[in-house]
Each structure stands twice: as C-alpha cells, then as structure tokens.
Amino acid sequence: MGDFIKEASNWLTQPTIFSLLSVALIVALVVFRRQLTTIPVIVAVFVGMTAYFVFAWSDPNFNKIITKPDNVPIIILLATVIFFTWLSLRRAVINDERIAKGEPTLEGELAKQKVFVWPDLVYSEFICLVAFTALLLVWSIEIPAPIEEPAATARTPNPSKAPWYFLGLQELLVYFDPWIAGVLLPGFIIAGLCAIPYVDPNPKGNGYYTFNERPFAITFYLVGFVLFWVAFVILGTFLRGPNWSFFGPFEYWDIHKLEPMVNVDLSTYFWVKLLDMPRPLNPWVRELPGIVLVLGYFLVTPALLAKTVFRTKFKEMGVVGYNITMHMLLWFALIPIKMALRWTVSLKYFVGMPEFFFNI
C-alpha cells in the first residue's frame, strides 16, 4: 500500500500530468464551485493533506526536501492559497445566490452599518499582530536559518535555483529562451497587471465576492495566479532536482539522471519531414514557416476573435483596450501551447535563429 502511494505520487507529479491535473482541478473548481465550497470539502482536503504528510515524513527522500528550512514557506503558500481560494469562491457562491434572489450580498448587508475603529478594527488588528509575532518567534527559535558553504564562484551547485518566488519563471526556461521567460514575460506580467483596471470594462463586482458577474475575470486570475504562478513555484521547489530534471517526491535526487533531449525545430519539421529536403542555409528562408505562423498568431487571431467569439467584448473594450488585452493573453497562451507541443511532438522552437539569439 505504502509503496503504491509512493509510486503513484511519483507518476502523478511528472510535469505533464502535474500540469494537466492542475488545469483539471481549476476547471472542476469553477464548474462545481457550488459543491466544492462546502465546509466538509475543505476539512477533508486539509485532513487528507496532513495524513499524506504524516505518511510521507518517514520516507528519506521526501523528508529531505520537505524539511529544508527554506521550503517551509512553500508549504504555507500551498495551504493558504488552497484555503483562501476555497473561501473566496464560497462567498462568491453565496453572494451569487443572494443576487439571483434580489437580496443584498454578504458585504452589502454589513456595509449599511458603520462602526467605530476603536475597538472593532483596532482589536482585530492587535490580535493579528500578536498572533503573527508569536508565530514568527516560535518559527525562528525552532528552525535555524540555513547557511551553506562560503561562496565559491568556481563551484556551481547542482541544481542552481533562483529564489523560490521566481521558480515559476525558471520553470518556463524549460520551454522558452531566457529573453522570453526571464525578460519579456515578467515585463508583460507587470504591464498586464497595471493595465487590468483600464481594460476591464465590467463595472459589476466591485467590493464584494462574486463569480457569476465576472466569470471571465475570475477564471483568468485563477489560471494565472494559482496555476501559472503558485503551482509552478511548487513544481520548481519540490519536483525539480539536479540539471533541472524532474524528480518525484519520493525519488532520490540522482545527479546522473539524464532526460533525453530530442527536441526538434519547426523548420526541421517543415523542410526535412514535410518537404523532404535539407533546410535552406539562409536563416530567414529557413525560418519563414515559423515566422509566418508566429506573425499570424499575433496579428490574425485578435481580428478573427473580434469578429466571432469576442464580438461583444470587442465592443465593450474598444479597439485599444481589446488589442492590449488580446496581445497579453496571446503571450500567456503561448505558454500552454508550447508546453503541449513539447510534450506531444517534441517541438523546440517555432522560430529558431540562434544566429541572432532570437528563438521563440
């Protein structure tokens, strides 16, 4: 039984399955939010997680990674994100039912009352403050901060990992070159966040939890934050070992584990496999199919969607807002697209021009 759980865990956490499961989980959360946001569900989740940890604790490989002092925050991140996602969806479900019946929302009911900051707010702030001070002190006394060997620029540790909050971006390096994963996408994330209030035309859902009034926005943030940020941080921390190879939670971090690299550029698919001829020497001709594809993706898709699925969105947002939103979304959509193509047809680059450090 124990071995079965370990093997199943190792299998379920490999990047493909892990990502697909995360997607499935978010879809399930959105679709079955009414059933999943009950109290027994969250109790069951936390009891289940605790039981799993207790079971896994005795395993030397699992124990080694989980008890690293710097990994404690990741466990806190996991637990709090699960809890607050559940809580916010629960309140959204309740509010949506109330709105449907024409009643005021949970927040709307309380908003009518005004209370003195002293004591109503000051006391709860004070309790939070004391609780957190206590938590920090206990944590600090119990778990010493790590200090490794002195810096030596000649000895590269394996794996070399960025600080944990950037591990999502490091994970993207598997699929993209650094100029996309490390510069372009972070830049777009910041710019995209700044743009949110200006491109969201929906005036509803301001100041209370709801899902039905802003289904697109909420789903977008769940996917972006919970999946592409938090889940990737967890993947990068616990499941990526030496050489950034994948290791299941019960697997030994073997430096010699090598994953075969057999990825193929789109140009090879086009010229060699489809047309059965050698790739042209001129990089521009060689990469023409990829360039056309990428340009088409970014230039034609927004127009196509504006005429079809997003017709109303296009009207609401206006030309500028729509185009900004679409281009951001298309860049982020490139991540799952590239991942899927890597897993299925081992695609390396759509456009591969190492001559100019320009690979997409």
Region 166-195 residues binding another protein, contact defined as CB under 8 A: 166, 169-170, 177-179, 181-184, 190, 193-194
Pick out residues in 132-171 that bind another protein (CB under 8 A): 132-133, 136-137, 139-141, 143-153, 155-157, 160-166, 169-170
d(CA 234, CA 74): 7
- Considering the complex, state which of residue 68 and residue 307 has its C-beta at the smaller distance from another protein: 68
Per CB under 8 A, the list member of 116, 256, 282, 344 interacting with another protein is: 116
Residues 6+ apart with CB under 8 A from 15: 174, 235, 239, 246
Q: How far is the CB of 55 from another protein (least distance, A)?
A: 26
Pick out residues in 318-347 that bind another protein (CB under 8 A): none
Chain CA centroid to CA 255, Å: 27
Type of residue numbered 204: K
# chain residues binding another protein, by CB under 8 A: 97
Q: How far is the CB of 167 from another protein (least distance, A)?
A: 10
Q: How far is the CB of 146 from another protein (least distance, A)?
A: 7
Q: Which stretch binds another protein (CB under 8 A): 3-11, 217-225, 270-278, 291-299?
A: 217-225
- Considering the complex, state which of residue 117 and residue 261 has its C-beta at the smaller distance from another protein: 117
Q: Using an 8 Å Cβ cutoff, are 228 and 239 in contact? A: no
Tell me the per-residue interface mask from 195 to 214 with another protein, x by CB under 8 A, - otherwise: -xxx-x--xxxxxxxx---x
d(CA 243, CA 157): 10
Q: Which stretch binds another protein (CB under 8 A): 15-23, 57-65, 103-111, 289-297?
A: 103-111
d(CA 291, CA 285): 10
- The reply to whether 43 sits near another protein by the rule CB under 8 A is no
Per CB under 8 A, the list member of 11, 120, 274, 303 interacting with another protein is: 120
Pick out residues in 58-97 that bind another protein (CB under 8 A): 70, 72-73, 76-77, 80-81, 84, 87-88, 91-92
CB atoms within 10 A of CB 47: 10
Burial of 338 (0-12, 13-18, 19+ CB in 10 A): buried
- Considering the complex, state which of residue 64 and residue 204 has its C-beta at the smaller distance from another protein: 204
CB atoms within 10 A of CB 77: 16
Q: Which ranges constitute the DSSP H helices of 271-310? A: 283-286, 288-307
Q: How far is the CB of 276 from another protein (least distance, A)?
A: 31
Backbone angles phi, psi at 239, to 5 degrees: -115, 5
Residue 198: name the closest of 303, 321, 297, 100 by CA. 321
Q: What is the DSSP letter of 211?
A: S
Tell me the per-residue interface mask from 278 to 317 with another protein, x by CB under 8 A, - otherwise: ----------------------------------------
- Asked if the peptide bond before residue 159 counts as cis, ω within 30 degrees of 0, the response is yes
